[in-house]
């Protein structure tokens, strides 16, 4: 009985389905990231924005979501490069430039709230669409 409760809580925490059925658009939140599904197929943010071009109030949320996701990806990628560079310096025992590692870690940390903001904006667009029906 206790194992069923633990499994149930685990399923709720790590694989929840958020906000369904708006133009057949659904957001699935995973452990680390989320995906936007349209009629069962994963779509990117550009396609997500084109779905909401006819409704200006939802279009602003969709565009803000796309912008936040783009900046999140840029910050995470750049931070990963800097962290890799710093790790390479540590391995080669070359002159250690700690500022590069700190900057990389800061950029990776910055990408997390941007990704969360992108998820919230996409959720708001879908939630507002459901509320208007």
Domain ranges (residues) in the chain:
2-132
This prediction has a pTM of 0.72
**pLDDT for 7-22, tens place per residue?**
544 444 444 444 434 4
Measured CA distances, 59 to 2, 66, 92, 118, 133 (Å): 45, 10, 49, 13, 16
Residues in the chain: 133
**pLDDT for 49-78, tens place per residue?**
998 888 888 899 999 999 999 999 999 999
Measured CA distances, 38 to 31, 41, 68, 82 (Å): 20, 5, 20, 35
* CB 120, CB 126: distance < 8 Å: no
């Amino acid at each position: 009985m206790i194992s069923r409760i633990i499994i149930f809580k685990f399923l709720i925490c790590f694989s929840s389905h958020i906000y369904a059925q708006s133009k057949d658009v659904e957001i699935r939140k995973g452990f680390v990231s989320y995906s936007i599904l349209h009629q069962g197929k994963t779509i990117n943010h550009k396609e997500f924005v084109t779905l909401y071009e006819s409704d200006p109030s939802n279009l602003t949320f969709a565009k803000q979501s796309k912008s936040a996701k783009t900046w999140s990806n840029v910050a995470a990628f750049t931070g990963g490069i800097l962290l890799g560079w710093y790790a390479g310096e540590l391995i080669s025992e070359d002159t250690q430039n700690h500022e590069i590692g700190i900057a990389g870690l800061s950029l990776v940390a910055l990408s997390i709230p941007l990704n969360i903001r992108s998820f919230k904006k996409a959720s708001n667009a879908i939630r507002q669409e459901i509320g208007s029906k």
